[in-house]
């Protein structure tokens, strides 16, 4: 008997994912400026939703305050480039690292709140960040500021090269975040996370250091979310506390996307984002009503199909895009020391 991750359908789909990625990487040659902009926005939401899914769906840390790190990353980008003259493309990872470091003392405080109260604690942290940001007068205080032209042109000489470059960075960042999440879930921390999700007490009593695992996930999420935030506002070229720390844009949409797509599955946020943007293309004119409808759909999904759209797919077809589920493979002759299988647990 053997326990393996991968199976043939997963390998086949991985191959088609690779083909799709090559097509997306070539988008500057087949798409227009609007297509690139839309795709980059989709990548940002896939990344944000995947990170929130890791936090809430896997580690059970239900945060309604991830806008704290989107805004922090964005403000760090503006501060590093405008005040310290750091090149923008270096400022993005740097913003992520600084945000991750800052997330440690934040975690030390809000990890004292359990479950539901943790959620509101994260919201307060985001509010504190927003209020502090509006006190920073060198970055425009409450009304915000724009990225100076000199910094923008320092990314690349022509506007076209700049847009291509930012597009590729957005794609790379999303892929890197997805790969990091899949690798994390395949590691022993992934097993620990699943154990915690199923039963925290049992996980603890089996030797899982629950707080440590949760802290690792919280810091990784802060790192990724802040980098995505920095990139989003590098594209927008303008920042203000209300936009950077928006609950609707960076948390409500992200949560609805994940819930509709399927929480607790890596594929869920991707499916959810595609549905979200597909609907938005048709319903964008509705404005607020679109947000209300999305909220209603998310509630109905949570009540009627808590595993989301992708959960329904898995239930009906037993199909998965990423080889994450461990499967028991029964073999007639049991060889305990089978060689060269890194996946074996």
Partner 1 sequence: MTDWINVIVQGVLVGGLYAMFAAGLSLIFGVMRLVNIAHGDLIVLAAYLALVTTQSLGLDPLSAMLIVVPLMAAIGYALQWFVLNRTLGDDLLPPLLVTFGLSVIIQNTLQELFTADPQKLQAGAIEVASLSVVEGINIGVLPLLQFALAVIVIAALQLVFYRTALGRAFRATADDSAVAQLMGLDNRHVFALAMALSLAVVAIAGVLLAVRANFDPTIGPARLIFGFEAVIIGGLGSLWGTLAGGIMLGVAQAIGAKLDPGWQILAGHLAFLVVLAIRPQGLFSKVQG
The residues that touch partner 1, with contacts defined as CB under 8 A, are 56-57, 60, 62, 64, 109-110, 112-117, 119-121, 123-124, 127-128, 131-132, 134-135, 247-248, 252, 255-256, 259, 263, 288-289, 291-292, 295-296, 298-299, 302-303, 306
305, 263 contact by CB (below 8 A)? no
- The separation between CA 149 and the C-alpha centre of its own chain, rounded to angstroms, equals 30
Q: Which is nearer to partner 1, 63 or 273 (CB)?
A: 63
Question: 305 vs 168, 227, 259, 280, 319, CA distance in Å?
Answer: 35, 32, 10, 22, 17
Pick the closer one to partner 1 by CB: 60 or 93: 60
What 8-state DSSP symbol labels residue 143? G
CB nearer partner 1, residue 64 or residue 271: 64
| Main-chain phi, psi angles of 158, to 5 degrees | -95, 160
In the bound state with partner 1, the residue whose beta carbon lies nearer, of 8 and 304, is 304
| 8-state DSSP, 125 | H
Nearer to partner 1, 17 or 128 (CB): 128
Which lies closer to partner 1 via its Cβ, residue 23 or residue 299?
299
Least distance between partner 1 and beta carbon 306 (Å): 6
CB of 337: closest distance to partner 1 in angstroms? Answer: 40
* Residue 328 phi, psi dihedral angles, 5° rounding: -85, 125
Bridge partners of residue 3, in order along the sequence: 328
Task: Round to whole Å and give the CA distance between 24 and 268.
Answer: 20
In the complex, least distance from residue 120 CB atom to partner 1, rounded to whole angstroms: 5
* Tokens, residue 323: 């080889």
What Rg, from alpha-carbon coordinates, does the chain have?
21
We find the least distance from the C-beta atom of residue 21 to partner 1, in angstroms, to be 31
Residue whose CB is less far from partner 1, 116 or 335: 116
Q: Which of 197, 200, 179, 173 is nearest to 40 (CA)?
A: 173
| Minimum gap (Å) between residue 302 Cβ and partner 1 | 5
Please, are residues 234 and 95 in contact by the beta-carbon 8 Å criterion? no
**Shortest spacing between CB 132 and partner 1, in angstroms:** 7
Q: Taking the complex as a whole, how short is the minimal distance between the CB of residue 312 and partner 1, in angstroms?
A: 17
């Amino acid at each position: 008997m053997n326990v393996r991750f991968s199976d043939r359908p997963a390998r086949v789909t991985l191959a088609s994912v690779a083909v799709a990625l090559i097509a997306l990487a070539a988008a500057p040659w087949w798409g227009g400026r609007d297509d690139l902009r839309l795709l980059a926005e989709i990548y940002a939401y896939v990344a944000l939703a995947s990170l929130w899914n890791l936090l809430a769906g896997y580690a059970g840390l239900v945060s309604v305050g991830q806008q704290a790190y989107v805004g922090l990353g964005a403000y760090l980008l503006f501060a590093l480039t405008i005040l310290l003259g750091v090149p923008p493309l270096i400022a993005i990872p740097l913003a992520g690292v600084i945000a991750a470091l800052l997330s440690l003392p934040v975690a030390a405080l809000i990890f004292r709140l359990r479950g539901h109260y943790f959620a509101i604690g994260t919201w307060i942290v985001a509010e504190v960040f927003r209020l502090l940001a509006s006190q920073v007068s060198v970055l425009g205080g409450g009304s915000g500021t724009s990225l100076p032209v000199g910094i923008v042109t320092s990314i690349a000489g022509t506007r076209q090269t700049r847009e291509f470059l930012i597009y590729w960075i957005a794609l790379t960042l999303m892929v890197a975040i997805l790969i990091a999440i899949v690798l994390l879930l395949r590691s022993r921390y992934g097993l620990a996370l699943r154990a915690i999700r199923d039963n925290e007490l049992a996980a603890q009593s089996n030797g899982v250091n629950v707080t440590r695992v949760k802290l690792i996930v919280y810091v990784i999420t802060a790192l990724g979310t802040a980098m995505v935030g920095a990139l989003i506002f590098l594209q927008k070229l303008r920042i203000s506390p209300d936009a950077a720390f928006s609950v609707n844009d960076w948390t409500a949409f992200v949560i609805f996307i994940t819930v509709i797509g399927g929480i607790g599955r890596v594929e869920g946020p991707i499916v959810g984002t595609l549905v979200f943007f597909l609907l938005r293309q048709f319903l964008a004119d509705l404005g607020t009503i679109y947000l209300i409808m999305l909220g209603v759909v998310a509630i109905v999904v949570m009540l009627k199909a808590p595993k989301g759209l992708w959960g329904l797919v898995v239930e009906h077809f037993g199909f998965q895009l990423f080889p994450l589920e461990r499967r028991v493979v029964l073999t007639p002759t049991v060889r305990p020391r089978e060689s060269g299988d890194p996946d074996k647990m």
